[in-house]
Amino acid sequence: MEALLQKLGYSIASTKEYTETIPLELLFINNSDHSIRWVWNASCKKPIFLKFYNIGSFRAFVFATAIRILFFLRLQQLVFQKRTFYFNATTAKTVFDCTKDWSLFMGTIGLNSKAILYANSFFYKIATSESAKMMVQNEYSILKQINVKNTELITPKVTSISKDIIQLTDISNKGKRTKNFTNSHLNTLIEMSNIHKSTIQVRQWKLFQNLKESFEQSSCEKIPRNITRKLNILIQNCVPNQEVKIHLSHGDFTQWNMFQTGDKISIYDWELASFEKPKGYDYFHYMMQQGILVDRKSWRFIYQDILQCSTNEFGDQLFDNDLNECLHWYLLINCMYNMNIYAKTEVWYPQIHWMMAVWNEALNHFIKKEYTQRQLLIMDLFDLLHNQEYAALKYPKEYPEDLSVNSDIDLVITKETNSIVMKYLKNHSLVSKINSDHRSFMNTIQVFTVEGSILSIDLIWQLKIKNYEILSTKQLIKNNYKNNYGIKSASIIDTERFIILFYNLNGAPIPEKYLEHKKGIEESSEPLDLVLQNYFNNKKNDVSLIQYFIKQKKENSTFFYLKNTLNYCIDTLKNTFNNQGFTITFSGVDGAGKSTVIDELAHRIEKQLRKPVVVLRHRPSLLPILSVWTKGKQKAHQDATNSLPRQGKNKNVLSSFARFSYYYLDFLIGQFVVYFKYILRGYVVIYDRYYFDFINDSKRSNIVLSKKISSLGYQFLLKPKFNFFLFADANTILNRKKELSKTTIELLTDDYKNLFLKLKSKSHVAIYESIKNEDLEVTLNHIVRTIIRTKK
On whether both 555 and 590 belong to a single domain, the answer is no
Domain ends where: 565, 588, 623? 565
On whether both 386 and 359 belong to a single domain, the answer is no
Asked if the structure places residue 746 within a domain, the reply is yes
Q: Are 411 and 490 in contact (CB under 8 A)?
A: no
Asked if the structure places residue 641 within a domain, the reply is yes
On whether both 288 and 312 belong to a single domain, the answer is yes
Cα 272 to Cα 109: distance, rounded to the nearest angstrom: 17
Domain ends where: 169, 198, 229? 169
On whether both 719 and 605 belong to a single domain, the answer is yes
Consecutive H or E run containing 457:
strand 454-460
On whether both 189 and 337 belong to a single domain, the answer is yes
Which pLDDT does position 626 carry in this prediction? Answer: 61
Asked if the structure places residue 176 within a domain, the reply is no
Q: Are 300 and 313 in contact (CB under 8 A)?
A: no
Neighbours of 486 (CB within 10 A): 20
Cα 41 to Cα 5: distance, rounded to the nearest angstrom: 13
CATH number at residue 228: 3.90.1200.10
Domain ends where: 109, 142, 169? 169
Which pLDDT does position 668 carry in this prediction? Answer: 94
On whether both 23 and 94 belong to a single domain, the answer is yes
Cα 697 to Cα 23: distance, rounded to the nearest angstrom: 103
On whether both 490 and 609 belong to a single domain, the answer is no
Q: Which residues pair with 198 in a beta bridge?
A: 246
Q: Give the mean model confidence (pLDDT) for residues 509-521.
A: 74
Domain residues for 212? 183-366
The mean predicted confidence, pLDDT, of the chain is: 90
Cα 617 to Cα 625: distance, rounded to the nearest angstrom: 12
403 confidence band (pLDDT: 50, 70, 90): very high
pLDDT tens, position by position, 453-500: 899 999 999 999 999 999 999 999 999 999 999 999 999 999 999 998
Q: Are 23 and 84 in contact (CB under 8 A)?
A: yes
Cα 129 to Cα 123: distance, rounded to the nearest angstrom: 19
> Which range (265-274, 311-320, 543-552, 677-686) has the least confidence?
311-320
On whether both 427 and 327 belong to a single domain, the answer is no
**Three-state SS letters, 324-384:** HHHHHHHHHHHHHHHHHHHCCCCCCCHHHHHHHHHHHHHHHHHCCCCCCHHHHHHHHHHHH
176 confidence band (pLDDT: 50, 70, 90): confident
On whether both 333 and 468 belong to a single domain, the answer is no
Quick check: helix, strand or coil at residue 483?
coil
Asked if the structure places residue 690 within a domain, the reply is yes
- Residue 774: phi and psi, rounded to 5, are -100, -40
Q: Which residues pair with 449 in a beta bridge?
A: 431
**Tally of structural domains, the chain:** 4
Cα 435 to Cα 95: distance, rounded to the nearest angstrom: 63
User: What is the model's pTM?
Assistant: 0.83
Asked if the structure places residue 518 within a domain, the reply is yes
CA distances from 385 to 163, 340, 346, 421, 495 (A): 43, 21, 19, 8, 20
Cα 764 to Cα 230: distance, rounded to the nearest angstrom: 44
pLDDT tens, position by position, 49-107: 999 888 877 888 899 999 999 999 999 999 999 999 999 888 878 899 999 999 999 98
What are the counts of helices (DSSP H) followed by strands (DSSP E) for the chain?
29, 28
CA distances from 162 to 94, 111, 170 (A): 12, 20, 19
Asked if the structure places residue 311 within a domain, the reply is yes
On whether both 217 and 279 belong to a single domain, the answer is yes
On whether both 240 and 387 belong to a single domain, the answer is no
Q: Are 582 and 679 in contact (CB under 8 A)?
A: yes
643 confidence band (pLDDT: 50, 70, 90): low
Asked if the structure places residue 572 within a domain, the reply is no
On whether both 217 and 150 belong to a single domain, the answer is no
Asked if the structure places residue 741 within a domain, the reply is yes
| Alpha helices by DSSP H, 385-491 | 415-426, 473-478
**What is the number of residues in the chain?**
792
Which DSSP string corresponds to 748-777?
A: HHHHHHHHHHHHHHH-SSSEEEEEE-S-HH
